[in-house]
Structure 1
Amino acid sequence: MIHLCITKFFIVVQALISYAYCDGIWREDLSNRINIGAPTDGYHRVQLNCNDNSISVAVVTENDFDGVIYTRGSFYGRSEKCFQEGRFGQTDYYFDFEFDECNVKKKDKNTYTVTLVIQNDKELIMPGDSAFKLVCDFRSREKTLEAGLQVTEKRVRAVISLADADPGGKDLPKHLQHSVTSRNRTAVFTREDIKPKLQRRDEL
């Protein structure tokens, strides 16, 4: 009887250890191993225009896109200005919203940022989805002329950077960070702008 009880005790302990180990792997997989990252599928190009009072975005997708495109934070509200559903065969999508709409963030007095998400499923964020951080920088800069005079030059800087589509995701690792910058109000990001980078040891 004693031997039987000891055997059952060890079986229970082993089962608890196995459960804890599997549960740990499960939690680790969800939190650390699943990384949506920065894919190159689903879109051809993203164009950002920094207007004086608004932000315009033009997206060209692949022919079979059947998901949704929206600014981060606008998924549930589904405002027409901030959210669009994909239609089979349609490749061109256009957004135009003011600086106080569609969850645009004011970084400082003259800089505005917003994240655009291209989600291939209409309801769920999945690996393969894309996101772009859009920045419009209206800060004036001092420019020195040949005569030695300084003038204030207002050139609007437009920046498009890859971002993590997962709203709870961390900043992308350095080797996945790619961006395009323009100083004439308009920036265009294409898949060809993604250049291979070496992954640092501390990111492995």
Structure 2
Amino acid sequence: MKIKLIAILLVSSTFISGCFERGKFEYVTTIDQTFKYTLDKSGEFSESSTLTSNEIARKVLDLDLADDFIIKEVNIKKVGMKFNFGSGSTADAIQYRVFVGNASGRDPFLSADGSQSHIPTDFFGQIGVEFAVTQFLNNKGAGTVKRVLSEVLVGNSEVYGVNNGKSYRMDLEGIVPNGKRLVGTIDLILDVDVTYETCEEVPIGFAEEECIF
């Protein structure tokens, strides 16, 4: 009886495994990446904020069913800034510039020529409101974000994301007007579309294309 049961289980297992295939699937997901800066500054200032590969991957990829993934495309949809000012802040405007960088260097991210862009006084009258600043996006910096994001996400689904030790940062540099002080936080928010391809085991016929990686 035991021999017959084992034989039945083996046949069933072989049948079931033969009903699955590894298929290729493509997904597009929009994520927000927030770089935070806490400031208590007067005059010139420079601050950096960094996101690691794991922090990014956890927002981008649901890899429970994926053995591997390939990043196909990265597009920046929107860039915004949010200002929250604390007690003692007297600045009603600042000038700023933003650079994107990693271990290999950095490029201008906001303002076309790398020069400082003035933040309108209106920004300071609406605490906690996010303002779109996509119009100041530098093409070279946008390209750097796309490249760096693709690099930091290279890996596989172990430990729910990647653990390649890579990261990228946003450097915020600015000038507070003479006699003024800026106290509070600034959030730089990127809305990014990430297109990625996974290889998943699914029932035969569910995948339009077989995996090649």
Q: Give the TM-score normalised by structure 1.
A: 0.30
**Greater share of residues in strand:** 2
User: Highest relative contact order (Cα 8 Å, sep 6+), 1 or 2?
Assistant: 2
TM, length-normalised to structure 2: 0.29
